[in-house]
Structure 1
Amino acid sequence: MGEQVRTTCAYCGVGCGIVATRTGERAVEIKGDAQHPANHGRLCSKGTHLGETVGLEGRLLHPMIGKRQASWDKALDLVAKRFRQTIAEHGPDSVAFYVSGQLLTEDYYVANKLMKGFIGSANIDTNSRLCMSSAVAGHMRAFGEDVVPASYDDLDAADLIVLVGSNTAWCHPVVYQRIRARCDAGAKLVVIDPRRTETADEADLHLAIKPGSDVALMNGLLAHCRTNGLIDETYLSRSVSVPDDFWDKVGEGSDLWSVAKACDLPPADLRRFFELFAANPRTVTMFSQGVNQSLRGTDQVNAIINVHLATGRIGKPGAAPFSITGQPNAMGGREVGGLASTLAAHMGFAADDVARVGRFWAAPTMAAKPGLKAVDLFRAVGEGRIKALWVMATNPAVSMPDAGRVREALAVCPFVVVSDVIAETDTSKFAHVRLPAAAWGEKDGTVTNSERRISRQRAVLDLPGEAKPDWWIVTKVAQKMGWRTAFPYDRPAEIFREHARLSAYQNHGARLFDLREQVVIGNEAYENIEPFRWGGDAFAEGRFPTADGKARLVAVQQIALQDPLPKWPMTLNTGRYRDHWHTMTRTGLSPKLARHRDEPMVEVHPGDAAELGLTDRSLARVSTPQGESVFRVILSTGQRRGELFVPIHWTDQQSTGGRTGLLPRPLVDPHSGQPGFKSTPAAIAPVAVEWRGFLLAASEVKQPDCLWATRVRVAGGVLYELAGDGDPAQLDALLPKGERIEALDRARGSRRLAILKDGKLAAALFVTREGLLPSRDWLIAQIGAAAGPAVLAGAPPGAREDRGPIVCLCFDVGLKTIVQAVASQQLTSVEAVGAALSAGTNCGSCRPAIRRLIEQNRSTAHAG
């Protein structure tokens, strides 16, 4: 066994600590870091299976110019030359960087410094614009600085936890377990979400709010608080500035009945929420993408903050508004000015801030105004205004709204550079230069989590091939562009020290972001730095980083929501699955993670499905004015009528369908520039197919050319779920050479074909027009095993256990196994199921599903 390395997880903003042990050249054993205050040893399913994602499959290992491998010198010379030429001919605003919350803070810092201080443009934006920039804008309007006024410890002290637009059980499972522990001790949980998610299933109250009506809800709550004497007048007079017309605007249409109508909620449920809030001063309101990813996301953020400021529920244990971020270092990017609308160290584009940062950097060409935000940036690429673009650690051809237009823009851009860990992505196919970057497990630097805690991310594995850290790549380009002395970095610690110095530079308490204690940190101390929170207990003294020291109530009003359109009668919502991450370049490598939701599905209410001719597990085409894509249908009573939900993860690399990025409108919040992914007008219609099937292979095959082909990583190989029209015989060409055994059922139009190599199963193809297809699990287990004609049955002789769909990924426990154990052993609690099967005892993200199965068994028993 190798040395244990304490590092951080690669996924969400919870910022879990990990202890990683190298067990081979590209093998790592993962466990939670019990000493890390963010997770105390817990990990979710994604973090638990990080070890399955560190192989070199699909990695970009050498610099590439076009289709040819190049030396680092030649590739970097070309990048520097083309950027210099473009700037000389068209000015600094003709170039742009599009970066990512996957970067470490040191990577982010160097890229931001190069663009804003030396190239002289603020055209550097980040994919964090897509997930939390409305929270940034809301914080700055209310507090004067982008400061999250909460910590995870507040969850432990709260008596009421309100989750707004967050499926926390799936998207932030470790935080959710902390919430559940508090609720088990007596706290109440309210979930505000149009969907009845796994998180909502466990709530004391679920408000299935009409999408986009959050401002009406929060203004109604604030009006209720004022009517019932819950406004903290002393706190307001001392610590908060209140606009003259604020209360008049809040009061408009904020009576219980008007709010219930605007939000499409039962008045009794709304009243219960108001009463719970009134009865529990220690309230944490945690919000995420459902609030931020809206055309009025900033107003929704401020509506939440208004309630907490006006009632004095901020800066106290167990009382705070809490924005929880999506990416591992979205917060670090915010600290160094990774957004086009900010400068480093929480400064903006006020003249004195520009001058201050310029002095510190000795910048020759300091950007003096905000740059283009993500949607406008890619629009400028398509219009020819941006002529050189560098994309780092992200995949905008998939993740941006109206992604078809983004692809068109990339295709016409004269010079595109992509730094990535993966050789072939939907974005990299447009690159003129591809640069191999370090991946998780190879990176060294710092990240900041949702509660402002800075932690070290340390390398466990050697850099493969010619891969390099992002900070090194940017540094070398800066040097080749002529700024060698300004970019002298040889190690991340040097960058971190400079970052800390800038945070403290001429900062006499004006900004809470201040790392002055780290300014002279030595290299060894940097290597051993323990996780720490900057800003301490922010706002505990009721002072804010504004000119007068007061926070601001921001008057926001509910806008009229658009009625369904005749051509687009549905409302489309997008989001994450539990065990996948972004565009699956990492999680798609894990056989275990891939099986929880192995296809992109559109969730539809059964009532809508019946009216539209959709059936469970059939295929449907979701269309919007921007584009269309095909999804597998899943019926869900958790959906509101007239609404659809699709996942964000699938790309051209994994599927012929499920391309969610093609669908949302390129419309943004006017304050933050964040796209409104959560409420796109849409339509859905059934897709008829002539045949269905699957292809299983021990080694990679070319993606099948048919209507529906979704690639799933499985143990020992790959699985394609298939459907189409025409003759499926064309699939034969994808099969490897070897001994063929085949069975036909002409009556049902079924064909089963297996390929054996040296008597072992190398591939299997099952297709049918009218018949049934066997379960994939047994066949997957036969890959590489001795096989004969019996393999065409798709199952072993005699009875066998059918586990059903996997519910607990951590311990590989299926739905039918849980149902059988609950019924036969009379298990009545999640803990009892955990004791019997281990299910739910690790990350806990499957606990809502287990609890639901227990309730279903109880209902069945009572009915019998």
Structure 2
Amino acid sequence: MNLSTDHLAVRTTCAYCGVGCGVQATPKADGTIAIVGDKLHPANKGRLCVKGSALGETVGLEGRLLYPQLRDADGLRRVSWDAALDKVADGWRAIIAEHGPDAVALYVSGQLLTEDYYVANKLMKGYVGSANIDTNSRLCMSSAVAGYKRAFGEDLVPLCYDDLELADMVVLVGSNTAWCHPILFQRILKAKESRPEMKIVVIDPRRTATCELADLHLPVKAGTDVWLFNGLLSYLARIGAVDPAFVGHHTNGLDAALETANIDCSDPAAVAKICRIELPVLMEFYESFAATRKTITAFSMGVNQSSAGTDKVNAIINCHLIGGRIGKPGMGPFSITGQPNAMGGREVGGLANMLAAHMDLDRADHREVVQTFWDSPAIAAKPGLKAVDLFQAIEAGKVKAVWVIATNPMVSMPDADQVRRALEKCELVVATDIMQNTDTNAYADVLLPALGWGEKDGTVTNSERRVSRQRAFLPAPGEALPDWKILSLFAQRMGFGGFDFCGAQGVFDEHARLSGFRNAIGDVPRAFDMSGLAGLNQREYDELEPTQWPVRRTASGELQVEARLFKDNVFAHADGKARFIATATRAPANAICEDFPLTLNTGRVRDQWHTMTRTGKSATLADHIAESFVDIHPQDALLHGVREGELARVSSAWGAMVARVQHGGGIPRGSVFIPIHWSGQTSSDARVGALVNPVVDPVSGEPEFKHTPVRIEQFRVNWHGFILSRTEMSLDSVAHWTRIQGREFARYELAGRNTIKDFGGWARELLGVADLDADWLEYEDRTAGVYRAVHVVNDRIEQCIFLSPRQDMPSRAWLASLFVKQELSEIDRVGLLVGMPVEKGADTGPTVCSCFGVGRNTICSAIIEKDLKTVPEVTACLKAGGNCGSCVPEIKKILVQTRVEAEEERL
């Protein structure tokens, strides 16, 4: 970017989680992007987590897909947009003509803007005439959708973020909020600081960072949530913690729900045993819930991603309905969404079993409303294939063409190797993406370049139903186009009218108008109504402030917004009443066995996002957790013959992967945890999706990501090592590798099974240093099997490689600091040869606070030297923990450990 002066800040929205934080992005004259939180945005009020703060590091064009491409026998070749779209349209037309509309499909993403999602849904359901459009949001929140619909009659999240600060108790279920939704967690903690009596309860099999700051942790056995909440429902009924007027006048189904709950959950001691928690801990939770009317139960992936996910959601909702704890400030069941626009996708019918504007595919009157509004030639008459079923149908040859948009199913789907088989067999695979190389794009016949965050324009909706603008502040690179435009051009080539949108504003206007079109159909109007935002002109759309729906206009033209739903106790079922749902207990679909004796749980880490196509570009975000890992209890590690710090192979009935063993201290016996982020682009063999159980919830279709039977065994290697290099490396000859983005270099963690006879020759060949006169520093201890070499160009470090049969090698943080220097000093060269920094304080240690780049060694030294005793004192001294706060639990642990170790040394 060539700019002579800094531009004014552009208000936009973060591209990551469903919190939907406001961002101010300012392109600078030097081509960088300054990112700060938007103080006027009600979601975050100026705060950003480390991922949001590092957004400016992810907008470079390195690795971008910039031009349409077609694959032929010789590989990919660049073509025009006309040629690429003609190829797709010709293929779809031929397949539909021969096999019908259900032989084609779209697989889309919560990364899309609502305008993109709307056009995709309109195209498939109203013009192609098939509901074969599903989304990666199926993998994270479809159980919440199904649970809300069963209970309330519509997919309605009844609360707003302000309620988290008004509650007297917040129960976080299956949510490592401190890491996955840190801005919300900070809002909760801030409220607790002002009201210390406020209680935070965490229900999670793992002891996560969130638990470190909670008042009570229930480490339930994975898969036992329905027992826990059925037991709570039974307890509340038994002690009379019931709102009889609310239940009698505004609900149906309590008797049946209680009858089911009482079958095996009426005895708290039995529930405690099944959930594997201590009875006093269980009773403290039950008694606190009963005594605290203003309670919010916030739940996330740990609830949703289950073969019983919908029942878990309804078991939670039941406990709020019985006491009338809904529709009022500071109380209710709150689904915390994973993706930035999962909610927007729900609004436009992005799931295969939904229609736009919260209308239902299985209702003829709803289908007629949508088709009439669209004036479309067809309307899908039955639900389409959900994500797992879709890729199984592709492999079976029932779906002949799939168009993947803004997602990477080869990494993110369960049984990911089945997805690979499906894409290999598919007649026509189209991928729209911002990145050239992804695991999925390797199987695409047509690659189409899309605009990315910072380049595209539209809206997203966050977890509290708040619609925010995402505004462009960067020019479109290459020939990339917005997704809604790509789909519209394709629709026109298919001969479909109704896609002549002049811009994102036109798409948004149609979406808003549809939400209010014949909305009084039936006895109860749909709660989803954005008709108050219909008719915005371009300027009004450009200036749209964050707004929650429902949003209507009064007779005088004023906007009328509802922050909370159900204030009048009227729900979206035809009779206006909410439903208790009987939730029978059942164990996870696949139980552990002799061959697979451990239970795999998957999830996120603090500083990464999805399959790392964006966050993997940021050096700031790479520092905290550099490699995939398998967290296992020390006793289980001993039993299965694996050791902390070493590599292990984890296998299931569906696949296998390799990760480094760690003892995080929060995993129960019998379980392992592996993060979801690593792909074939960032590691040789760390796609955890290949292991994951593909069984799904029978109601929602959401897969069981939290309970896969696995085994673990040693991954034996002869040596370990790492490379830091300014040039990209090809490491196909190495048994295991992980790539980590650094500042001005890439870092590779290595492990090999080969025997290296000539260290110097092998290292030179691997690094591509053929010049025997190159400035090459090396040290070798053949007896110990230790080798290190540094390639210097013009007194500046170009590459370095370190090898050892052991894990304990030099600090990567220290070596990374040398790559920033324009010239190595003599003392630097000495340190490189001896394998450690000579100067005191040069090694800051592993990153703890990514926001300010503060390492563990720096924190430990400050604690000792300045006698720091509290997290605020550490923050005042080093800034660590002073931004998003997601590192505060880790700092708290370091304080305890460092002071204990210091005391032990003193004694």
Give the TM-score taking structure 2 as reference length: 0.93
Cα separation, 1, equivalents of 2:735 and 2:109: 33
Cα separation, 2, equivalents of 1:196 and 1:420: 36
Equivalent position to 1:552, from 569, 579, 601 = 579
Give the structure 1 partner of residue 700 of structure 2. 672
Structure 1 moving runs of 4+ over 4 Å: 728-731, 857-864
Q: Which is worse superposed, 523-532 or 551-560?
A: 551-560
Deviation at 1:7, TM superposition (A): 0.2
Q: Quick check: 1:829 aligned with 2:870? A: yes
Q: Quick check: 1:443 aligned with 2:475? A: no
Cα separation, 1, equivalents of 2:113 and 2:30: 24
Equivalent residues of 1:704, 1:734 under 8 A apart: no
Give the structure 2 partner of residue 843 of structure 1. 884
| Count of equivalent residues | 863
Equivalent residues of 1:748, 1:770 under 8 A apart: no
Q: Quick check: 1:702 aligned with 2:730? A: yes
Letter in 1 for 2:632: V
Give the structure 1 partner of residue 213 of structure 2. 202
Q: Quick check: 1:516 aligned with 2:531? A: yes
Q: Quick check: 1:660 aligned with 2:688? A: yes
Q: Quick check: 1:530 aligned with 2:539? A: no
Give the structure 1 partner of residue 765 of structure 2. 733
- Identity within the alignment, %: 52
Give the structure 1 partner of residue 238 of structure 2. 227
Equivalent position to 1:360, from 338, 350, 373 = 373
Give the structure 2 partner of residue 743 of structure 1. 779
CA offsets per residue over residues 524-570 of structure 1, 9 Å max, x none? 10000000100312111110111000000001021145653011000
CA offsets per residue over residues 335-388 of structure 1, 9 Å max, x none? 000000100000011111111111111111211110000000000000011111
Q: Which is worse superposed, 559-568 or 469-478?
A: 559-568
Matches within 5 A, 1:299-378: 299-349=311-361, 350-378=363-391
Q: Which is worse superposed, 695-704 or 49-58?
A: 695-704
Give the structure 2 partner of residue 260 of structure 1. 272
CA offsets per residue over residues 794-829 of structure 1, 9 Å max, x none? 334343443221111111111222223223333232
Equivalent residues of 1:736, 1:763 under 8 A apart: no
Q: Which is worse superposed, 845-854 or 640-649?
A: 845-854
Equivalent position to 1:16, from 11, 16, 21 = 21
Deviation at 1:772, TM superposition (A): 4.5
Note the aligned Cα RMSD (angstroms).
Answer: 1.5
Deviation at 1:513, TM superposition (A): 0.4
Letter in 1 for 2:848: V
Give the structure 2 partner of residue 381 of structure 1. 394
Q: Quick check: 1:809 aligned with 2:850? A: yes
Cα separation, 1, equivalents of 2:45 and 2:834: 48
**Distance change (3 Å), C-alpha of 1:859 and 1:695:** closer
Deviation at 1:244, TM superposition (A): 4.5
Matches within 5 A, 1:605-620: 605-620=633-648
Q: Quick check: 1:287 aligned with 2:299? A: yes
Q: Quick check: 1:251 aligned with 2:278? A: no
Q: Quick check: 1:86 aligned with 2:95? A: yes
Cα separation, 1, equivalents of 2:667 and 2:53: 30
**Distance change (3 Å), C-alpha of 1:614 and 1:223:** same
Equivalent residues of 1:20, 1:460 under 8 A apart: yes
Q: Quick check: 1:758 aligned with 2:794? A: yes
Matches within 5 A, 1:45-60: 45-60=50-65
Deviation at 1:704, TM superposition (A): 4.5
Letter in 2 for 1:521: L
Is there any run of 5+ residues in structure 2 with no aligned partner, and where?
1-5, 551-561
Deviation at 1:758, TM superposition (A): 2.5
**Distance change (3 Å), C-alpha of 1:85 and 1:801:** same
Letter in 1 for 2:630: V
Give the structure 2 partner of residue 98 of structure 1. 107
Equivalent residues of 2:647, 2:659 under 8 A apart: yes
Give the structure 2 partner of residue 852 of structure 1. 893
Deviation at 1:516, TM superposition (A): 1.1
Cα separation, 2, equivalents of 1:848 and 1:796: 29
CA offsets per residue over residues 779-799 of structure 1, 9 Å max, x none? 222226434753333334343
Matches within 5 A, 1:35-184: 35-66=40-71, 67-184=76-193
CA offsets per residue over residues 250-291 of structure 1, 9 Å max, x none? 212221111101111100100110111112110000000000
Deviation at 1:859, TM superposition (A): 4.8
Give the structure 1 partner of residue 556 of structure 2. none
Equivalent residues of 1:142, 1:305 under 8 A apart: yes
Cα separation, 2, equivalents of 1:389 and 1:24: 42
Give the TM-score taking structure 1 as reference length: 0.98
SS across alignment from 2:27: strand
Deviation at 1:30, TM superposition (A): 0.2
Cα separation, 2, equivalents of 1:73 and 1:649: 35
Equivalent residues of 1:97, 1:390 under 8 A apart: yes
Give the structure 2 partner of residue 782 of structure 1. 818
**Distance change (3 Å), C-alpha of 1:775 and 1:281:** same
Cα separation, 1, equivalents of 2:631 and 2:41: 37
Is there any run of 5+ residues in structure 1 with no aligned partner, and where?
none
Q: Which is worse superposed, 739-748 or 15-24?
A: 739-748
SS across alignment from 2:175: coil
Cα separation, 1, equivalents of 2:37 and 2:799: 37
Give the structure 1 partner of residue 466 of structure 2. 453
Q: Which is worse superposed, 502-511 or 453-462?
A: 502-511
Deviation at 1:434, TM superposition (A): 0.1
Letter in 1 for 2:20: G
**Distance change (3 Å), C-alpha of 1:764 and 1:674:** same
Deviation at 1:689, TM superposition (A): 1.1
Give the structure 2 partner of residue 297 of structure 1. 309
Letter in 1 for 2:843: D
Q: Quick check: 1:773 aligned with 2:782? A: no
Deviation at 1:851, TM superposition (A): 1.7
CA offsets per residue over residues 144-200 of structure 1, 9 Å max, x none? 000001110101100000000000000000000011112222210100000000001
Deviation at 1:429, TM superposition (A): 0.6
Letter in 1 for 2:388: V
Cα separation, 1, equivalents of 2:838 and 2:860: 24
Give the structure 1 partner of residue 9 of structure 2. 4
